[in-house]
């Protein structure tokens, strides 16, 4: 005899099913790392509770990571090294190689000045303008690469942009290694144009590395959404800091090569033969690594364009998404201004420090020879590396994060430059030189633990996928204009005059960051893409989620009313409706494919958006067990039209 449920029993089963459904939705929509147990978004908590929540989350995550690292070490002591190599060194290999070569130029220039004095110092046999053009063409090549490859990366795909960058850098290194001329001036011209060609590949590395680091988390299936929210910044900065290791490797190798080819001595005079061998071998070594990088990107990064292709497919775009570019400037124009202007201000500091460090070190250590200057530069690089790693460690901390890290970094660079600017004669005295030295090295530290790392990250993060490479390239190119300006200014000014000019760019950068840059720390990249989808469809006014929370908007965006539509409860209901629609669509596809071998894992990732797979696995067995007679796919109760109470994470 079949048992017939009473109305009361049926209602009880229905309520239990709804509770389980809400719990499943809550786990997806209100994850514990971003929402308090009562369902409140972390940025909506009162300040005291917010601080407590963030500290607790940071502590919990740190314990989990250290436990995971310890388990990995116990299994295989070398596995943490291989993990770091795979997840930081490889993604940042292009930037490491370009950092090696790019910052080698000023190092070898100081050696050329000693070995080829009639060309590089007195300009008797070489044109002074061509000597100066080396720095200008380097920066010009980077700008061309940033804009060109950023555009191509959004047009033909990230993978081909990466392959193209590595190929250009490989050919450029061969040109630099083999640069020659009938006269010394002819050699300089060949060297300068070889550097220009190489720098095009360098410029392309910026938008490509940033976008790949960003998109490897979101939509790739390689990491969970929790890892994306909690460690997205670290993954991008972790790749970017390879630039610092490239500088370190170059400086160490140059010192060793000079000792080898100069008969074990680093003291002048330096022979032209020793100089030629030193600089050419120093360029030949990264050529080998770059050749390998071409191979790796061609054969082991075939899914690099996956997220871009998914977004284009959703928008029915086959070529370059001009509509997304137009909408970006319409809706995110102030963000473009913030990322471009912030990068411009930063590069005045960064390249001012790097391109003319010989002048600064000359004040710290007068009458230094080449190896002494290189040794001081090595110390400066080590200090900078410490800043890189501090940035990677703190960039995802909700109580500090991207925006405040950039503001504080800019302000400290301003202070550390403006003090010696107005008291220069005091600080260059022998008894005060250590204070000058400390301020110079601290400026390097806070430039990395601040705007240099953050500008690279946010220029990709605050823009939508279809034009992310373009926006990053434009911002990076604006930065190199700052480098070009300081290159020109530095050629015609003294050290004190540079100190008087540069600080104000730090102050301007801090103000621009505060007013126009949004803070995306702790914001799920999926949520930003969801907001973009509303904008793309002309429904911006229907979006009510965290991407327009005041915490994640700039001061300017808040002033212009971008956050007035934020409504956490309404957004929750809309997400429930969206996930239900996706679930039912997925079940419909599964029903159509029931006669094939396809399973739930074969359904389009873009339809499921990753989370729906998890939702299906969690809810389907529960629903079916409570209502065995229900047909598949089961029509779920319309929870979106009912009042949703905040759920706990139990």
**Rounded distance, CA 450 to CA 413, Å?**
9
Segments of the chain with pLDDT less than 70:
1-24, 216-224, 352-359, 593-650
Long-range contacts of 366-370 (CB under 8 A, 24+ apart): 369/114, 369/266, 369/267, 369/268, 370/110, 370/111, 370/114, 370/258, 370/266, 370/268, 370/270
Q: How many helices (H) and strands (E) in the chain?
A: 28, 0
Phi and psi angles of residue 323, each rounded to the nearest 5 degrees, phi first: -65, -40
Q: Cis before residue 633, ω within 30 degrees of 0? A: yes
Q: Residue 157 contacts by C-beta under 8 Å, 6 or more apart in sequence?
A: 304, 305, 308, 309
**Rounded distance, CA 258 to CA 275, Å?**
7
* pLDDT score at 596: 54
* pLDDT score at 21: 59
Q: Which residue has the tokens 């730090």?
A: 506
Long-range contacts of 352-355 (CB under 8 A, 24+ apart): 352/486, 352/490, 352/498, 352/502, 353/380, 353/443, 353/444, 353/447, 354/103, 354/106, 355/106, 355/135, 355/483, 355/486, 355/487, 355/490
- Element (H or E) spanning 109, and its range? helix 104-115
**Rounded distance, CA 153 to CA 157, Å?**
5
Long-range contacts of 192-198 (CB under 8 A, 24+ apart): 192/130, 192/133, 192/134, 192/137, 193/137, 195/105, 195/134, 195/137, 195/138, 195/141, 196/137, 196/138, 196/140, 196/141, 197/141, 197/168, 197/171, 197/172, 198/101, 198/141, 198/168, 198/169, 198/172, 198/173
331-347 pLDDT, tens digit per residue, is 999 999 999 999 999 99
Rg (CA), the chain: 28
CA distances from 391 to 59, 403, 463, 494 (A): 18, 12, 21, 32
* 429, two tokens: 């005295």
**Rounded distance, CA 238 to CA 233, Å?**
8
What is the rounded (10 degree) CA torsion for 255, 258, 264, 265? -90
DSSP secondary structure of 326-386:
HHHHHHHHHHHHHHHHHHHHHHHHHHHHHHTHHHHHHHHSTT--HHHHHHHHHHHHHHHHH
Phi and psi angles of residue 398, each rounded to the nearest 5 degrees, phi first: -60, -30
Phi and psi angles of residue 41, each rounded to the nearest 5 degrees, phi first: -65, 140
Burial class from Cβ neighbours inside 10 Å (0-12, 13-18, 19+) for residue 244 reads buried
* 300, two tokens: 């082991």
- Element (H or E) spanning 479, and its range? helix 468-491
* pLDDT score at 623: 41
* pLDDT score at 291: 95
* 618, two tokens: 């969690």
Question: Which residues of the chain form CATH 1.20.1250.20?
Answer: 82-516
> Measured on CA atoms in the order 426, 429, 431, 433, is the torsion positive or negative?
positive
- The third-level CATH classification (topology) of the domain covering 82-516 is Growth Hormone; Chain: A; (1.20.1250)
Contact 575, 611 (CB under 8 A): no
Largest CA distance in the chain: 110
* pLDDT score at 471: 94
* pLDDT score at 433: 87
Contact 398, 530 (CB under 8 A): no
> Measured on CA atoms in the order 323, 327, 333, 339, is the torsion positive or negative?
negative
**Rounded distance, CA 435 to CA 442, Å?**
10
Which candidate, 348, 380, 329, 546, places its Cα nearest to that of 455? 348
DSSP secondary structure of 143-164:
HHHHHHHHHHHHHT-HHHHHHH
Q: Tell me how crowded residue 530 is: count the other CB atoms within 10 A of its CB.
A: 19
**Rounded distance, CA 414 to CA 421, Å?**
10
* pLDDT score at 605: 46
**Rounded distance, CA 306 to CA 635, Å?**
32
CA distances from 295 to 170, 289, 301, 497 (A): 11, 10, 10, 47
Contact 329, 336 (CB under 8 A): yes
**Rounded distance, CA 217 to CA 231, Å?**
9
**Rounded distance, CA 113 to CA 202, Å?**
25
């Amino acid at each position: 005899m079949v048992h017939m449920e009473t109305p009361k029993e049926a209602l009880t089963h229905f309520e239990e099913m709804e509770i389980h459904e809400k719990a499943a939705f809550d786990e997806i929509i209100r994850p514990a790392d971003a929402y308090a147990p009562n369902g409140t978004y972390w940025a909506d908590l009162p300040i005291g509770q917010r601080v407590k929540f963030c500290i607790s989350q940071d502590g919990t995550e740190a314990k989990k990571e250290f436990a995971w690292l310890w388990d990995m070490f116990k299994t295989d002591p070398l596995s943490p090294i291989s993990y770091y190599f795979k997840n930081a060194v490889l993604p940042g290999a292009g930037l490491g190689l370009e950092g090696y070569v790019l910052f080698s130029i000023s190092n070898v220039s100081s050696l050329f000045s000693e070995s080829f004095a009639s060309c590089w110092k007195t300009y008797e046999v070489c044109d002074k303008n061509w000597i100066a053009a080396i720095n200008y063409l380097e920066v010009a090549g980077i700008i061309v690469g940033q804009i060109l490859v950023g555009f191509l990366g959004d047009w033909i795909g990230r993978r081909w942009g990466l392959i193209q960058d590595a190929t250009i850098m490989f050919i450029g290194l061969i040109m630099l290694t083999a640069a020659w001329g009938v006269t010394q001036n002819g050699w300089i011209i060949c060297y300068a144009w070889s550097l220009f060609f190489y720098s095009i590949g360098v410029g392309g590395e910026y938008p490509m590395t940033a976008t790949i680091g960003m998109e490897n988390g979101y939509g790739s299936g390689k990491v969970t959404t929790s890892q994306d929210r909690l460690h997205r910044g670290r993954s991008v900065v972790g790749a970017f800091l390879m630039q610092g290791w490239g500088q370190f490797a170059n400086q160490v190798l140059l010192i060793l090569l000079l000792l080898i080819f100069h008969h074990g001595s680093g003291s002048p005079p330096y022979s032209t033969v020793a100089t030629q061998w030193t600089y050419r071998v120093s360029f030949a070594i990264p050529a080998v690594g770059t050749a390998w990088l071409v191979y790796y990107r061609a054969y082991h990064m075939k899914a690099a364009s996956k997220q871009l292709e998914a977004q284009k497919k959703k928008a029915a775009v086959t070529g370059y998404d001009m509509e997304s570019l137009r909408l970006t400037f319409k809706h995110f124009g102030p963000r473009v201004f913030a990322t471009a202007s912030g990068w411009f201000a930063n590069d005045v500091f960064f390249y001012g420090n790097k391109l003319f460090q010989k002048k600064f070190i000359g004040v710290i250590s007068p009458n230094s020879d080449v190896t002494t200057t290189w040794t001081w530069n090595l110390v400066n690089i080590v200090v900078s590396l410490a800043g890189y790693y501090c940035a990677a460690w703190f960039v995802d901390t909700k109580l500090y994060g991207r925006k405040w890290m950039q503001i504080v970094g800019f302000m400290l660079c301003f202070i550390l430059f403006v003090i010696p600017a107005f008291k220069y004669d005091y600080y260059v005295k022998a008894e005060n030189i250590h204070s000058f030295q400390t301020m110079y090295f601290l400026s390097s530290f806070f430039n990395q633990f601040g705007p240099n790392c953050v500008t690279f990250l946010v220029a990709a993060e605050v823009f939508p996928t279809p034009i992310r490479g373009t926006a990053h390239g434009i911002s990076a190119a604006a930065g190199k204009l700052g480098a070009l300006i300081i290159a020109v200014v530095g050629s015609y000014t003294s050290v004190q005059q540079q100190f008087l000019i540069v600080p104000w760019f730090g102050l301007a950068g801090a103000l621009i960051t505060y007013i126009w840059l949004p803070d995306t720390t702790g914001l799920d990249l999926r949520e930003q893409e969801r907001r973009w989808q509303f904008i793309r469809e002309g429904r911006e006014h229907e979006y009510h989620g965290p991407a327009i929370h005041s915490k994640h908007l700039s001061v300017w965006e808040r002033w212009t009313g971008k956050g007035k539509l934020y409504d956490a409860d309404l957004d929750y209901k809309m997400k429930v409706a969206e996930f239900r629609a996706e679930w039912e669509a997925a079940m419909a596809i599964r029903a159509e494919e029931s006669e094939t071998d396809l399973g739930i894992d074969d359904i389009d990732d873009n339809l499921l958006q990753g989370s729906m797979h998890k939702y299906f696995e969690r809810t389907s067995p529960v629903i079916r067990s409570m209502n065995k007679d229900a047909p598949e796919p089961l029509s779920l109760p319309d929870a979106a039209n009912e009042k949703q109470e905040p759920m706990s994470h139990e």
